[in-house]
Amino acid sequence: MSHSEGALASLHETLDDLAGRAMLVDDEPAAIAPLLAALSQLASHADVAGCTALSETALELSQDASDGDSLRQGLLQLQKVLESESKKAAEAAPVEDAASSGSLGSDPDLLNDFIVEARDHLANIEAQALTLEQDPGNKEAVHSIFRGYHTIKGLAGFLELGAIQTVAHEVETLLDMVRNGQLSVTPAMVDGILAGADYLKTETNRIESMLAGGAPKRPAANDALVKRVHALMASKPVESTAPAAELIPVKATPVEAKTPEIVSAVEPEVLPAAAVHEVSANEPPAREVKKAPESRIVKVDTAKLDFLVDMVGELVIAQSMIRHNGDLSSVTNASLQRNLAQLSRITGEVQKTAMSMRMVPIGQLFQKSVRLVRDLTRKSGKRADVEIFGEDTELDRTIVEDLSDPLVHMIRNSADHGIEMPEDRVKAGKPAAGRITLKAYHQAGHIVIEISDDGRGLVREKILKKAKERGLVQDGAHLSDKEVFNLIFEPGFSTAEKITDISGRGVGMDVVRRQIQKMRGRIDIESQAGKGTTFFLKLPLTLAVIDGLVVGVGAERYILPIFAVREIFRPQPDAVFTVENRNEMLLTRGKLLPIVRLHERFAVEPRSREITEGVVVVAESAGKRFCLFVDELIGKQEIVIKSLGETFKSVPGLAGGAILGDGRVGLILELEGILGDIAHV
Amino acid sequence: MTKSVSTLEMTATRSDERAGKYLVFELGREEFGIRVLQVREIMGLQDITVVPQMPAHIKGVINLRGKVIPVICLRSKFGLEAAEYSSRTCIIVVQVRGEAGLLLVGVIVDGVSEVLNIGAGDIEDTPDFGVGASTPYLLGMAKIKGKVKILLDIDRVMATEELKRLPSIAA
C-alpha cells in the first residue's frame, strides 16, 4: 500500500498548512520551532506513505532551515517534490480505490455484511474504550479494541475501502504499541480511539446510504484523524507506571481542554504525562469487562421474525379453536385428550420462544448513554460517572428502538441540569464527580427503567414559579410535590436559565412523555432538592402483546386495554341520572361519571338498551374516568395488536385490531378517542 | 372453439400488455376478470368485523392468517344493488399497489368461475360511453366464447380516494 491516495492528500494538506504558517514566522522567530518539529513529523509520515524522496527532503529541511526565508524556500521545493510523487503515484496506480472514489465496486451483499459486522465491532470498541477510560490498565479491553479494529481493517482491505482501512490501521498500530507496553493509555488516547470509531461509523453510514441508492459521496477526510493518532503514537512512552496507590489527580487540568487542540495541531505535541494519572483514588472499581458470551448467533431478517410470530399466533388460535370445539367435549377418548393437552403445551412453548426472539437486552442502549454522558460532561466541564445495572434485562426490539430518543433526552437532562459543576458539588459536600445511574429490571410484567442522578434535584418553588409565569398553574393552587414535578412534562416548560446546545429549549420533556405514553408506558419522577432526581419509566415488555378485556356489544366484540380498566359492575337502577334527559351519568363511589354507550357510539345493534341489563366498565383515560356501557363481558385475553392501517386510523376510538380466540378480528378501543367524542356531543 | 382461441392468440400483438391469465368472477349478471398475478388467494366468506364509520362498500376487516386486512364489497363499490350472500359468494384477496406500498385487500364477489388465458386479439378497448361515463379502471373487454368479460385494473379500482389509505402489507 504505498502512495495511498489518502496519504498523499494528507501530505498535501499538511504542506499547505505549513506554507501558510511559514508566512508568519518572520514576526516571531521563536515560532519556527514548532514548524520544524511538524516538518520532521511530515517526513516520517511521508516515509510511511512511501514517498522516500519527500521524506528525505523534509528531514533535511527540518534540520537546516533557520529562518523564515530558508524555510519558505524549502517548503516550495517540498511541494514540487510532492507534486512529482503524486504524479508517479497516479501513474503507478491507475486503478483507483473503488470505494474512496465514491463508487462501490464491490459486491453489495459483501458490503452489507461488512456494515453489519463493522457496527457490531464499533459498538464493542466504544464500550471497551469507555471501560479503558475508567481503568487504563485493563489489558483485556485493549486487546478487545485491537481485535475490533484489526477485523475491520482486514475486511475493509478486502473490500477496498481505503479510507476505513487507513484509519483502522493507524488506530490498530497505536493499540499495538499499547499492547507492547510502548505506550500507556491516556484520556487523549481514549479520545483518539473513540474518534477513530466515530469516523468508521460515519464511513459505514456513508457506504450504507450509497448502497441504498443514495448519491455517491467521497469518504470524509481522515488525515486530521490520522495525524491525531500519529501524535498519540509520538507521545511519551511510559517511563514509570505509577503504582496504584499513587494514582492521585496530579493536576486539575481538565482533559477536555486538550482534545480540540490535538485535532487541529500539526506539531507533535507531547501530551503531559500528568494526563496518565487522571484516574482519581476515589474512582469506583472499574466496571467488570463483560466478555461477550460465545454463544452462536444467527442473524435473521426481522420481517421473517415478525412473520414467524404472526404464524405462531395463528397456530395458537387454531389450537384453541380445536380444543374448544363443541363436538370434542363429548369425546371420552383419554389418549385424544392427552394428545390435545400435549399439543397445547407445545404450542405454548413455541409461542413463548417466538416472542422471546423479538427480545433484545437493553445493554446496548445503556452503553450509548455512557458515551453520551462522557461527551456531555466534557463539553460542560462537569464530571460524572455512569453506573449501569440490569443491562441484560430484555425487552421488545421495537421498544428498544423507540426508547432510544427519550432515554437520550433524559440522560442529557440529568447531565446538563441535574449534575452540578464540580466546585458546586464539593461546596455542597458531595464528591466532585456526579453519578448517573441507569437501572433496568422487571416488575409485574413490566420493565422499569430508572434514570437517577445525584445532582441538584428539582426545586419545587422554581418549577412553580415558572409554571405560574407560563400560566400552567393558577395562583393559590395547592399541588403535591408529585404534581409539581409533573409540570416539567408540560409543553414549553423549561427551568434552565440559559439555553445550551444540550438542552433547555423546553421542547424536551413533553416529547419524552408523549413518546413513553405512545409505548403505553408511564413516567414518574422522584426528586429531592440538593440530593438528586430519579425518573422511573414503566414500559410494557412488548408493544405487540397487551392484556385485553374483551367485551361484547350485539354481535361485535371489542377489546379494552386492561390497564385502563378500573372497575366493572352491573349498575343499580337508582345510580343512573340523566342530564336534560339525554346525557347519562352514573353515581359510583360518591362520584358522578359520564356514561358512554358503545352501541350508540359505533352504531351497533345491542342486545339491550337497559343500563341495568348490561355491564358498565369504568375506564380511565388521560386522567379522566368514564363509564363504558356494553352488553357483556367475555373475558380477559392476551392479545397481539395488529395495525388497522391508515384507512381506519381516521376512525376516532379505534386503536387497532386483534385476532380473537375464535379467529375473528376484534377491534381495540382507544379510550381517549371515545371519550373525546363526548365533548362534542 | 379452443382452436379459434389459439389462432387468435397467435395473431395477437405481443406488445399488448393486457394479454395474459385472468381470474374470472361474477358480479350480478356481469363477468369480470382480474389479473391472476395479483390474486393472492380465494377464500369462502367469513365473519367480517365491522369497522364503524366507514363508507358502505368497506365492509370491515378479516383475519388473513394473522394479518388484519380490509374487505371491500365490489357490488356496492360498483353501485349494484346488494345481494344475499350465497354459498358461492367468496372473498378474493388481491395485492394492489397503494401509495405506501403493496397492500392486501379482500374483495367480495358473487362467485369465481375460472382462470382464462386471454390473448391480445381477444381484447378490445373499452367503448366510449360518452361524456360523464369515465371508466378509468377498465383495462378493456375480452370476448370469449361469445361472451364479454370486463377486464379490471384492480389497482385503479382500489385507487379511489378513500382506499388510498388502506393498510400496507408491512403494517
Chain B environment of A649 (Cβ under 8 Å): 165
The pLDDT of residue A559 is 92
- Residue-wise pLDDT for A102-134, tens only, equals 445 567 777 777 888 888 888 888 888 888 888
What's the N-to-C CA distance of chain A in angstroms?
A: 77
Closest Cα in chain A, distance from residue B160 (Å):
12
- The verdict on a CB contact (< 8 Å) between A665 and B63 is yes
Q: Which one of B59, B65, B99, B105 makes the best mutation probe of the A interface by having the most chain A beta carbons within 10 Å? A: B65
Residue A649, pLDDT above cutoff 70: no
Is there a contact between A112 and A106 (Cβ–Cβ < 8 Å)?
A: no
**Within an 8 Å CB–CB cutoff, is residue A578 touching chain B?**
no
* Of A186, A178, A85, the residue nearest A136 (C-alpha): A186
Residue A591, pLDDT above cutoff 90: no
Q: Cα(A592)–Cα(A316) distance, rounded to whole angstroms?
A: 42
Mean pLDDT, all residues of chain A: 76
- The verdict on a CB contact (< 8 Å) between B63 and A666 is no
What are the sequence ranges of the domains in chain A?
A: 5-92, 108-278, 302-358, 361-540, 545-680
Residue with cell 440530593: A531
The pLDDT of residue B33 is 93
The pLDDT of residue A90 is 62
If one compares A62 and A193, the residue with the highest pLDDT of the two is A193
Architecture per CATH, A545-680: Beta Barrel (2.40)
The pLDDT of residue A104 is 55
Reported as a pLDDT band with limits 50, 70 and 90, residue A136 is: confident
Residue A433, pLDDT above cutoff 70: yes
- The verdict on a CB contact (< 8 Å) between B167 and A651 is no
How many Cβ pairs within 8 Å bridge chains A and B?
83
| Neighbouring residues of A485: CB distance < 8 A, sequence distance ≥ 6 | A458, A460, A463, A525, A527
C-beta pairs of B29-35 under 8 Å, 24+ apart in sequence: B30/B150, B31/B113, B31/B147, B31/B148, B31/B149, B31/B150, B32/B109, B32/B149, B32/B150, B32/B151, B32/B152, B33/B116, B33/B118, B33/B142, B33/B149, B33/B150, B33/B151, B33/B152, B34/B92, B34/B94, B34/B151, B34/B152, B34/B154, B35/B154
- Residue-wise pLDDT for A202-218, tens only, equals 888 888 887 777 766 77
- Residue-wise pLDDT for A360-371, tens only, equals 888 888 888 888
- Among B58, B63, B171, the residue with its CB nearest the CB of A643 is B171
- Among A303, A311, A646, the residue with its CB nearest the CB of B166 is A646
Reported as a pLDDT band with limits 50, 70 and 90, residue A612 is: confident
The pLDDT of residue A64 is 73
Residue A625, pLDDT above cutoff 60: yes
If one compares A257 and B61, the residue with the highest pLDDT of the two is B61
- Among A311, A650, A666, the residue with its CB nearest the CB of B49 is A666
* Of A511, A508, A513, the residue nearest A413 (C-alpha): A508
- Among B66, B70, B170, the residue with its CB nearest the CB of A311 is B66
Residue A506, pLDDT above cutoff 60: no
Residue A285, pLDDT above cutoff 60: no
The runs of H, that is alpha helices, within A449-570 are: 460-469, 481-486, 508-518
Q: How far is CA A133 from CA A141, A396, A437, B88, B143, in A?
A: 10, 31, 18, 73, 80
For helices A108-134 and A363-380, angle between their N-to-C axes, nearest 10 degrees? 60
- Residue-wise pLDDT for A521-535, tens only, equals 888 888 888 888 899
The pLDDT of residue A288 is 43
Closest Cα in chain B, distance from residue A168 (Å):
38
CATH 1.10.287, applies to A302-358: yes
Is there a contact between A612 and A570 (Cβ–Cβ < 8 Å)?
A: yes
Q: Which residue from B minimizes the CA distance to A599?
A: B52
Cell numbers found for residue A372: 453520551
- The verdict on a CB contact (< 8 Å) between B68 and A642 is yes
The pLDDT of residue B112 is 92
Q: Which region among A309-318, A322-331, A452-461, B106-115 has the lowest average model confidence (pLDDT)?
A: A322-331
Closest Cα in chain A, distance from residue B141 (Å):
31
- Residue-wise pLDDT for B29-54, tens only, equals 889 999 999 999 999 988 899 888 88
Q: Which residue from A minimizes the CA distance to B59?
A: A648
Percent of chain A with pLDDT over 90: 4
Is there a contact between A575 and A586 (Cβ–Cβ < 8 Å)?
A: yes
- Among B49, B50, B65, the residue with its CB nearest the CB of A314 is B65
Residue A272, pLDDT above cutoff 50: no
**Within an 8 Å CB–CB cutoff, is residue A654 touching chain B?**
yes
- The verdict on a CB contact (< 8 Å) between A659 and B61 is no
CATH 3.20.20.150, applies to B2-163: no
Q: Cα(B32)–Cα(B24) distance, rounded to whole angstroms?
A: 6
Q: Cα(A371)–Cα(A570) distance, rounded to whole angstroms?
A: 55
* Burial of B95 per CB tally in 10 Å (0-12, 13-18, 19+): middle
Residue A189, pLDDT above cutoff 60: yes
Closest Cα in chain A, distance from residue B15 (Å):
31
Answering whether pTM is above 0.90, one says no
Q: Which residues of A497-509 are buried (b: 16+ CB within 10 A; e: fewer)?
A: eeeeebbbebebb
Q: Cα(B41)–Cα(B69) distance, rounded to whole angstroms?
A: 13
* Burial of A97 per CB tally in 10 Å (0-12, 13-18, 19+): middle
Is there a contact between A141 and A132 (Cβ–Cβ < 8 Å)?
A: yes
- The verdict on a CB contact (< 8 Å) between B165 and A666 is no
Closest Cα in chain A, distance from residue B163 (Å):
7
A88: helix, strand or coil: helix
- Residue-wise pLDDT for A329-360, tens only, equals 787 888 888 888 898 889 889 988 887 887 88
Residue A7 sits at φ, ψ, to 5 deg, of: -65, -40
Of A305-309, A328-332, A412-416, B43-47, give the range with the top mean pLDDT. Answer: B43-47
Is there a contact between A629 and A612 (Cβ–Cβ < 8 Å)?
A: no
- Residue-wise pLDDT for B109-154, tens only, equals 999 998 989 888 888 888 877 766 667 788 888 988 888 999 988 8
- The verdict on a CB contact (< 8 Å) between A645 and B70 is yes
The pLDDT of residue A27 is 61
Q: Cα(A520)–Cα(A560) distance, rounded to whole angstroms?
A: 13
Q: Cα(A597)–Cα(A631) distance, rounded to whole angstroms?
A: 10
State the DSSP string of A106-175.
S-HHHHHHHHHHHHHHHHHHHHHHHHHHH-TT-HHHHHHHHHHHHHHHHHHHHTT-HHHHHHHHHHHHHH
How big is the CA angle at A537 (ends A534 and A543), to the nearest 5 degrees? 170
Residue A278 sits at φ, ψ, to 5 deg, of: -60, -30
- The verdict on a CB contact (< 8 Å) between B166 and A311 is no
DSSP letter, residue A417: I
Q: Cα(A121)–Cα(B45) distance, rounded to whole angstroms?
A: 53
Region A383-388: what's the mean pLDDT?
Answer: 87
DSSP letter, residue A288: P
Residue A105 sits at φ, ψ, to 5 deg, of: -80, -30
Side chain identity at residue A53, one-letter code? A
* Burial of A464 per CB tally in 10 Å (0-12, 13-18, 19+): middle
Chain B environment of A665 (Cβ under 8 Å): 49, 60-63, 68
Q: Cα(A277)–Cα(A496) distance, rounded to whole angstroms?
A: 34
* Of A199, A403, A277, A645, the residue nearest B60 (C-alpha): A645
Chain B environment of A313 (Cβ under 8 Å): 66
* Burial of A444 per CB tally in 10 Å (0-12, 13-18, 19+): exposed
Above 0.85 for ipTM, yes or no?
A: no
Q: Which CATH superfamily is domain A108-278 in?
A: HPT domain (1.20.120.160)
- Residue-wise pLDDT for A13-66, tens only, equals 777 777 777 766 666 666 677 777 777 777 777 777 667 777 777 777 777 777
Binding-site residues on chain B for chain A (CB distance < 8 A) = 47, 49-54, 58, 60-63, 65-68, 70, 100, 103, 162-163, 165-168, 170-171
Reported as a pLDDT band with limits 50, 70 and 90, residue A544 is: low
Residue A575, pLDDT above cutoff 80: yes
Closest Cα in chain B, distance from residue A15 (Å):
53
**Within an 8 Å CB–CB cutoff, is residue A670 touching chain B?**
no
Chain B environment of A602 (Cβ under 8 Å): 52-53
Q: Cα(A389)–Cα(A372) distance, rounded to whole angstroms?
A: 17
Number of Cβ within a 10 Å radius of residue A403: 22
- The verdict on a CB contact (< 8 Å) between B53 and A645 is no
Q: Which one of A639, A662, A665 makes the best mutation probe of the B interface by having the most chain B beta carbons within 10 Å? A: A665
Is there a contact between A503 and A526 (Cβ–Cβ < 8 Å)?
A: no
Region A597-623: what's the mean pLDDT?
Answer: 85
Q: Cα(A122)–Cα(A130) distance, rounded to whole angstroms?
A: 12
Q: Which residue from A minimizes the CA distance to B99?
A: A646
Percent of chain A with pLDDT over 70: 79
The third-level CATH classification (topology) of the domain covering A361-540 is Heat Shock Protein 90 (3.30.565)
- The verdict on a CB contact (< 8 Å) between A642 and B51 is no
Is there a contact between A496 and A416 (Cβ–Cβ < 8 Å)?
A: yes
Cell numbers found for residue A37: 518539529
A659: helix, strand or coil: strand
Q: Cα(B147)–Cα(B143) distance, rounded to whole angstroms?
A: 6
Region B78-85: what's the mean pLDDT?
Answer: 83
Cell numbers found for residue A425: 458539588
Q: Which residue from B minimizes the CA distance to A601?
A: B52
Chain A environment of B53 (Cβ under 8 Å): 602-603, 651
| Neighbouring residues of A341: CB distance < 8 A, sequence distance ≥ 6 | none
What's the N-to-C CA distance of chain B in angstroms?
A: 47
**Within an 8 Å CB–CB cutoff, is residue A650 touching chain B?**
yes
How big is the CA angle at A551 (ends A550 and A555), to the nearest 5 degrees? 115
Residue B95, pLDDT above cutoff 70: yes
Chain A environment of B165 (Cβ under 8 Å): 645-647, 649-650
E strand or H helix that includes residue B97: strand B90-98
DSSP letter, residue A432: S
A649: helix, strand or coil: helix
Side chain identity at residue A195, one-letter code? A
E strand or H helix that includes residue A525: strand A522-528
Reported as a pLDDT band with limits 50, 70 and 90, residue A101 is: very low
